[in-house]
Structure 1
Amino acid sequence: MIVVNKDNIVSGNTVLQPEYVPYLEEKEKEDLKRKAKEKKLRQKRLKGKIKTIRNISLAFTVGVLLVGRYCVIYNMQQQLNSINKNINQVNRDNENLKVDLVKYNNIQYIEDSAINKLHMIAPDKGTAVQADLDKEVIKSSDKKSENQVPKGVWNKITKMLF
């Protein structure tokens, strides 16, 4: 017996037609096993790639959400700082106005500015005219005149009927 190839065994004399007995069933089984192993290996690699892509996309999404939230917080902090700055400015202006009010509330200052700037003179007691400002000079009426009635569809209809 001569072994030429492990897969092909030649039995008998080579002059005659050798009897070839292929081991197809075993070879097919080995091929099927090899293909099954390759298929499992490909599926395993594919699952690994899918897990990696999923993890990367999840990390990216979480990162984008965190950065977006920090942007919102930063903008809110900027607005808060701006509003606080405006409040401080208004408080300073208020204090300045209070100081001016105290300054202008002094009767001596008012008399000096009236005499010097406006060229007014002090009144004599004999020529002074007193006015009672507590009374109302102009009386307001609570009645509405006919011209002031709002014009609407209903009012026009009632005018036409009555």
Structure 2
Amino acid sequence: MIVTNKDSYIHGNTVLQPEYVPYEEERRYEEEAKKERLKKLRKAKQRLKKKVKVIRNISLSFIIGIIFVGRYCIIYNMQMELNLVKTNISELNKENDNLKVELVKYNNLQYIEETAINKLQMVPADKGAAIYANLDKENVKITEKKVQDKIEKENLWSKLKKIIF
């Protein structure tokens, strides 16, 4: 007899319980399919991990680049401010030198006399017409009340100093 269908073939005596395994190939197929699914899941997880690593590295590089560019912008702005301050200092130094030159010009005694005579119509001083005054003598009399107030303030002040110190 020729067996055409191996799945339906019965081994042994039909009177006894046959050793028929009808789903053996299906089980193998299911196990192989399960193994393949597990392999696919592992590969998918590995691909996902690789993608996450790549995205992480790209984002990290981007953040570091932004930090560097921002830092260089800050340095550039500080340099511009420094240059501006230096130019202001040099301009102020030049202006200061010009003012010193003008001060030397106005400090000249002859220039002052010419300005006084020509612009202000002043007359040169005559030594013979000079009047001398004695400033050692007290011209203003101090009243006794003012002297007493002054003494009282000094006494009050000295008392406060003694109390505090």
Task: Using the TM superposition, give the Cα deviation of residue 38 of structure 1 relative to its aligned residue in structure 2, in angstroms.
Answer: 0.6
Q: Which runs of 4+ in 1 moved over 2 A?
A: 9-12, 19-22, 128-133, 142-146
- Could you say what secondary structure the match of 1:126 adopts? helix
Uncovered stretches (5+) of structure 1, i.e. residues with no partner: 4-8, 13-18, 134-141, 150-154, 156-162
Q: From the superposition, tell whether residues 129 and 54 of structure 1 become closer, same or farther in structure 2 (CA, over 3 Å).
A: farther
Decide which structure has greater strand share: 1
Task: Using the TM superposition, give the Cα deviation of residue 95 of structure 1 relative to its aligned residue in structure 2, in angstroms.
Answer: 0.5
Matches within 5 A, 1:11-160: 11=8, 21-22=22-23, 23-129=25-131, 145=153
Task: Using the TM superposition, give the Cα deviation of residue 54 of structure 1 relative to its aligned residue in structure 2, in angstroms.
Answer: 0.4
Identity %: 48
Decide which structure has greater helix share: 2
Give distance in 1, aligned partners of 2:133 and 2:42: 110
Task: Calculate the TM-score normalised by the size of structure 1.
Answer: 0.68
Task: Calculate the TM-score normalised by the size of structure 2.
Answer: 0.67
Larger RCO: 1 or 2 (CA < 8 Å, sep 6+)? 1
Task: Using the TM superposition, give the Cα deviation of residue 89 of structure 1 relative to its aligned residue in structure 2, in angstroms.
Answer: 1.1
Give distance in 1, aligned partners of 2:122 and 2:40: 112
Contact 1:11 1:20 in 2 (8 A): no
Q: From the superposition, tell whether residues 128 and 37 of structure 1 become closer, same or farther in structure 2 (CA, over 3 Å).
A: same
- Could you say what secondary structure the match of 2:121 adopts? coil
